[in-house]
């Protein structure tokens, strides 16, 4: 029997990831595996083929809500989103006229120890992120 929980950690593939894809695909858990669809998988996502997360270094999520703002969320597959990928995502957010939340995974002693969130978009959104997220809001992994 497959566990209903999938252990995940930044910068590490899912424990069930194999070169052909998901080793437990028919029995994968409903949450998050069956219900979550990153922008690359969504027909309305508008991401190019090379924006598959394992290729571009980021997972892009659409339609997330944060403090009343509908945002795009960009999460790195490693410590940080590669520069060219981040530039493309920022331009994408501007085209969609949607604020962007960017996660950075913080490395401590060679291990992912925490994450912080940055805001990109209209000045009032950036100010809201700056005022709402501070060093005490860093997510411990």
pLDDT tens, position by position, 84-126: 999 999 999 999 999 999 988 777 776 666 778 889 999 999 8
Q: How far is CA 101 from CA 9, 47, 138, in A?
A: 19, 17, 14
Q: How confident is the model at residue 133 (pLDDT cuts 50, 70, 90)?
A: low
pTM of the model as a whole:
0.75
Q: Tell me the average pLDDT across 69-75.
A: 93
Q: Tell me the average pLDDT across 37-51.
A: 89
- In eight-state DSSP terms, residue 64 is E
Question: Distance between CA atoms of 94 and 85, rounded to whole angstroms?
Answer: 14
Express each pLDDT in 30-39 by its tens digit.
877 888 888 9
Report the percentage of the chain scoring pLDDT > 90. Answer: 34
Which strand (E) or helix (H) includes residue 88?
Answer: helix 83-96
Contacts of 48 (CB under 8 A, 6+ apart): none
- E-strand ranges in 77-131 read 100-108, 111-120
- For the chain, the domains span 38-140
- pLDDT, greater one: 35 or 20: 35
Q: How far is CA 25 from CA 1, 2, 20, 35, 65, in A?
A: 13, 11, 11, 13, 28
Contacts of 47 (CB under 8 A, 6+ apart): 39, 40, 60, 92
Q: How confident is the model at residue 50 (pLDDT cuts 50, 70, 90)?
A: very high
């Amino acid at each position: 029997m497959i566990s209903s929980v999938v252990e995940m950690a930044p910068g590490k593939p899912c424990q069930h990831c194999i070169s052909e894809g998901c080793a437990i695909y028919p029995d994968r858990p409903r949450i998050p595996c069956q219900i979550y669809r990153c922008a690359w998988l969504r027909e309305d996502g508008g991401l190019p083929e090379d924006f598959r997360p394992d290729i571009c270094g980021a997972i892009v999520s659409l339609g997330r809500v944060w403090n009343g703002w509908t945002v795009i969320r960009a999460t790195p597959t490693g410590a940080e989103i590669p520069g060219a990928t981040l530039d493309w995502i920022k331009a994408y957010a501007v085209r969609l006229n949607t604020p962007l939340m960017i996660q950075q995974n913080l490395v401590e002693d060679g291990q992912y120890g925490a994450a912080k969130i940055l805001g990109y978009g209209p000045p009032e959104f950036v100010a809201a992120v700056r005022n709402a997220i501070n060093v005490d809001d860093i997510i411990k992994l």
